[in-house]
Amino acid sequence: MEKETAAQLIEVNRLFYQKFGSEFSRTRGRIQPGVRKILNGIGRDLPLLDVGCGNGEFIRQLAANGHRAPVLGVDFSLPLLEDAMLVPENFPATFHALDITSPQWSVVNGQWSIITCFATLHHIPSEEMRLQIFRNIHERLAPDGQFIHSNWQFLNSEKLCKRIQPWGMVGLDAADVDEGDYLLDWRSGGTGCRYAHQYSEAQLADLARQSGFKVVESFYSDGATGNLGLYQVWEKSSKAN
């Protein structure tokens, strides 16, 4: 994918979350079953970085679960970050605005035992940009830490497939984008569209290898059919490729 096309897709999503961030937040008042499964396995004394924290519901659930270690949530959407900051008083969570597609993550310091990234990576266009993000995460993950992420499997839903729109809506052509890239519409509080990519397990395994990770667990969850989210746990491999 050309860099100009990737930048255009990022702008599509930036404008979407700028316009519909508050409305989107209202549709995300609970965590998904797959996230709940992950939550219940996270040690309460492990420092955690939540990449693409959205409205912070996962972090509030960490607080409810008795999490004691520092938590940092980052997201590029200011409307969502405003909601994320509504955490219990004295809970050790901080929040920063961060566009994770930017090369430098200067607001994220140190190393973290757990790094989570739920329902975010499917909005990242181009292999080059995905690898850049994974390498930034690798750099900030403790040697014995875990990177846990989920990715939307919207093609597993007949209803969601009906929301796929032609690329001409954003001035692009199918030849401009990569296999697995789609444009989906939004119909709550107005009409809009978002870019999303559906990953396969094989693609994620290759991205893990290239960025110095190994896949240690993979499972499907969420939705009425239990397969609208692909969850994976990555750990650092012995050496990066």
Highest mean pLDDT among 21-30, 83-92, 111-120: 111-120
Q: Is residue 175 part of a domain?
A: no
Flag whether pLDDT at 21 surpasses 70: no
Across 190-215, average pLDDT: 93
Within a domain: residue 96?
A: yes
CA 231 vs. chain centroid, Å, equals 11
In a domain, 185, yes or no: no
3-state SS, the chain, equals CCHHHHHHHHHHHHHHHHHHHHHHHHCCCCCCHHHHHHHCCCCCCCCEEEECCCCCHHHHHHHHCCCCCCEEEEECCHHHHHHHCCCCCCCCEEEEECCCCCCCCCCCCCCEEEEEEECCHHHCCCHHHHHHHHHHHHHHEEEEEEEEEEEECHHHCHHHHCCEECHHHHCCCHHHCCCCEEEEEECCCCCEEEEEECCCHHHHHHHHHHCCEEEEEEEEECCCCCCCEEEEEEEECCCCC
CATH of the domain at 98: 3.40.50.150
Counting the structural domains of the chain, the total is 1
Is residue 76 situated within a structural domain? yes
In a domain, residue 140? The reply is yes
Residue 187 forms part of a structural domain = no
Residue 28, pLDDT > 70, answer no
| Cα distances (Å, whole numbers) of residue 231 to 31, 72, 210, 216, 226 | 14, 21, 19, 11, 12
pLDDT at 191: 76
Please check whether residue 166 lies inside any domain of the structure: no
Q: Answer whether residue 217 shows pLDDT above 70.
A: yes
Backbone angles phi, psi at 238, to 5 degrees: -65, -30
- Give me the domain span that covers residue 19: 3-155+198-235
> In which region does residue 185 sit, left (phi positive, over 0), alpha (psi from -120 to 50) or beta (all else)?
beta
Kindly state the average pLDDT of the residues 207-229: 95
Q: What is the pLDDT of residues 85-107, one digit of tens each?
A: 998 989 999 999 999 998 889 89
pLDDT at 27: 54
Specify the residue for token string 């965590």.
Answer: 31
pLDDT score, position 67: 95
240 confidence band (pLDDT: 50, 70, 90) = very low
- Residue 111 domain-assigned (yes or no): yes
